[in-house]
Amino acid sequence: MKFIDEVTLFASSGHGGAGCVAFRHEKFIEFGGPSGGDGGRGGDVIFVATSGLSTLLELRHRPHQKAEKGHNGQGKNRHGAAGEDLVIKVPVGTVIMDVDTGEQMADMTDEGLRVVLLKGGRGGQGNARFATATNKAPKFAQPGEPGEERKLRLELKLMADVGLLGLPNAGKSSLISKISAARPKIADYPFTTMVPSLGVVEYKNYRSFVVADIPGIIEGASTGAGLGHRFLKHLERSGMLLHLVDISWMPDRDPLAEYEAVNRELALFSTELANKEQAVVITKTDLPQTREKLSEITAWFESRGIKVFPISSVTGEGIERLLDEIARRLWGKAEVEW
């Protein structure tokens, strides 16, 4: 399924039905009087957060969303039926914005959350409502009120406890496939991961947490290099970030300079994201060239007060220690079985 995380919708609630002008003309009823019924209210536009969805693809193909209008009133004091509400299901984590004002209208963070975003118009009253002692035969009724219209922008931000961050080919997809049931594409070339993916990690004592893997970020992403900043928003809800660093390329590339470049890109995207708690993970410790430089690189990070977790997604080395650290940071030491 194609991953779509941004769509624009033109949404409108239903107009209210018009009130009716009618009079009773029935045999044996001497004074019939006005009998126009009220119009029904227009349908609302309702958004519902649904965990079974992972993309906004369906809405991409239906950009115009309109609730049903209310039915008009009829004679014999018959009221019009209310218009049917329009229920739009969106993935959990969808943010709904008003395009014209920039206002955030809803943040669909919880499964089953139901938000009435646009109210349907009120139905007009029929002429039976306006009969008085001085005007026993009113010949007028109210029109229905118009519904609301808005141009909406929907953005999906993945709901994850831990976000994986790093350059292309740093080992993010290998790690998430090792610790969860997620099966992203893994290959020996950059930008193997083209869309974000989620994996659920089963931890000790039947606890679990969710990890998000996004495409690699390179220097210059803020100006559109690589895949740009587009997918960084999926890390904004994470409780912590794992910054994966591949040192197996030394001395052809400087992994420390690359680490700092990725953090600069975070700061250019969002100060809040740049200040989010990180843990540095050095990957591919099963390779001889990684083991050769591991002590030197670890010392560089530790001299700056940064804790390092060397791992191998191939052999599993260091994985358990890393998961314990994640659990400690997410839930506190008391919750972790050491």
* CATH number, position 69: 2.70.210.12
Residues 325/327/330/336 CA torsion (nearest 10 deg):
-110
Instruction: Compute the distance between CA of residue 271 and CA of residue 36 in angstroms, rounded to an integer.
Output: 61
114, 67 Cβ separation under 8 angstroms:
no
Do both 140 and 199 map to the same domain? no
What's the pLDDT at 12? Answer: 98
Last residue of a domain, one of 118, 141, 156: 156
Do both 82 and 68 map to the same domain? yes
Instruction: Compute the distance between CA of residue 182 and CA of residue 180 in angstroms, rounded to an integer.
Output: 5
What's the pLDDT at 45? Answer: 98
Domain that includes residue 35, residue range: 6-156
What's the pLDDT at 84? Answer: 97
Do both 152 and 166 map to the same domain? no
What's the pLDDT at 190? Answer: 47
Last residue of a domain, one of 129, 156, 183: 156
Do both 255 and 219 map to the same domain? yes
Is residue 245 domain-resident?
yes
Do both 171 and 282 map to the same domain? yes
Is residue 323 domain-resident?
yes
Is residue 216 domain-resident?
yes
Do both 45 and 65 map to the same domain? yes
Do both 149 and 203 map to the same domain? no
| Terminal-residue alpha carbon distance, the chain | 40
What are the residue ranges in the chain where pLDDT is below 70? 1-2, 28-30, 182-194, 206, 221-228, 333-338
Do both 100 and 226 map to the same domain? no
Segment 233-277, tens digit of pLDDT? 888 889 999 999 999 988 888 989 989 999 998 898 888 888 999
What's the pLDDT at 193? Answer: 54
What's the pLDDT at 30? Answer: 66
226, 191 Cβ separation under 8 angstroms:
yes
Identify the CATH number of the domain in which residue 325 sits: 3.40.50.300
Do both 197 and 258 map to the same domain? yes
329, 240 Cβ separation under 8 angstroms:
yes
What's the pLDDT at 132? Answer: 92
What's the pLDDT at 269? Answer: 87
Do both 22 and 118 map to the same domain? yes
Do both 184 and 128 map to the same domain? no
Do both 195 and 327 map to the same domain? yes
Q: Which helix (H) or strand (E) holds 237?
A: none
Segment 33-49, tens digit of pLDDT? 899 999 999 999 999 99
What is the rounded average pLDDT for all residues in the chain?
Answer: 88
The total number of structural domains in the chain stands at 2
- Three-state secondary-structure class, residue 290: helix
Within 103-247, residue ranges assigned H as helices are 172-179
Is residue 1 domain-resident?
no
